[in-house]
Amino acid sequence: MGGATTRIPMSHRVLSSSHNSSGGDNPGDQPCIQLSGTIFGFLENDTTLLSSPETDMFHHIDDDEDEDENLEKINDKIKFWETQHQNLHATLYRTTSLESRIRTTTKEVLAELDTADNVCSCSRHVSGGCRTCRMREICRRLQNSGYNSAICKSKWKSSSDIPSGEHTYIDVIDKSNRKKSETRVIIELDFRGQFEMKKGSDDYNSLVSKLPEVFVGKVERLLTVIKIMSNAAKRCMEEKKMHLGPWRKQPYMEAKWLRVVERTTSMPTVEPLAVDRDPPHVVRTRARESMLTMDLLDKLPKMSTYMVPVV
């Protein structure tokens, strides 16, 4: 019986506190049976884990960690772009009475130029006028309304951070508030185009679409918008794992409207010309007949009969 017992696998033995092979109660064997059941149960489970290191439990743990990480990235992305939209909306829709008045005058001038089919003072046939002539007309209209307006040209040299460049726009300097220092308002006719990117993501392009085509605002407001859009451009390129060009970075964008090297307040008085009129520098003169050539002109038909052809 002893040899037959050793051939039975340990995992198939029935071990319980109530089992007794002799059919009687043996108080001395009961503690040993309980202890053996506890140890074998643990060893069987432990042996299973050691024999299969890549169990389903470990797979579930790894999958859960990956899902949590991906979910965290998605939530972070959504939160970032929602924050940029909120900040941009709050910045653009806050305005002062000075900005509103300048914006109204600018819109009126542009509306008049867009509806008039004319030729610029530079003789270019462009619907609504070219950029230079449009800026001159807006600047002149603002000056007629009593504003200290001028066409500004910013220019900067290349450095370790940004490449060289130049930009032209309009500004208005207001000193009516004696309690504060002068207020500078920037007018940019192609504001949205300054931030457009061909390889921009859908999130970035959606943010760019919220920008006005024509920006009219104080320098402080402009700097806030530049910071928002520069951070968005950086995040966009990081998500696409692409390099951000230096001309898209915040220092370069700020230089466009801050590095002023020339401010022109005198505007030309030449009005836009109609299409069927001549440019101002062209003067039409009527051909005059000379008394010395009148007889010669009358005799030219007769003289042609005596002309000998050259062979």
Q: What span, in angstroms and rounded, lies between the C-alpha atoms of 101 and 183?
A: 14
With H, G, I as helix, E, B as strand and everything else as coil, classify residue 216: strand
Q: Which two tokens stand for residue 55?
A: 């169990």
Q: How far is CA 227 from the centre of its chain?
A: 11
The mean predicted confidence, pLDDT, of the chain is 76
> Any bridge partners for residue 173, and if so which?
148, 184
| The predicted structure's pLDDT at residue 151 | 96
User: Residues 174-226: pLDDT tens digits?
Assistant: 998 877 789 999 999 999 999 999 999 999 999 999 999 999 999 999 999 99
One-letter identity of residue 16? S
Q: How far apart are CA 86 and CA 106, in angstroms?
A: 26
State the pTM of this model. Answer: 0.65
Residue 310 pLDDT level (bands cut at 50, 70, 90): very low
pLDDT of 162 strictly over 60:
yes
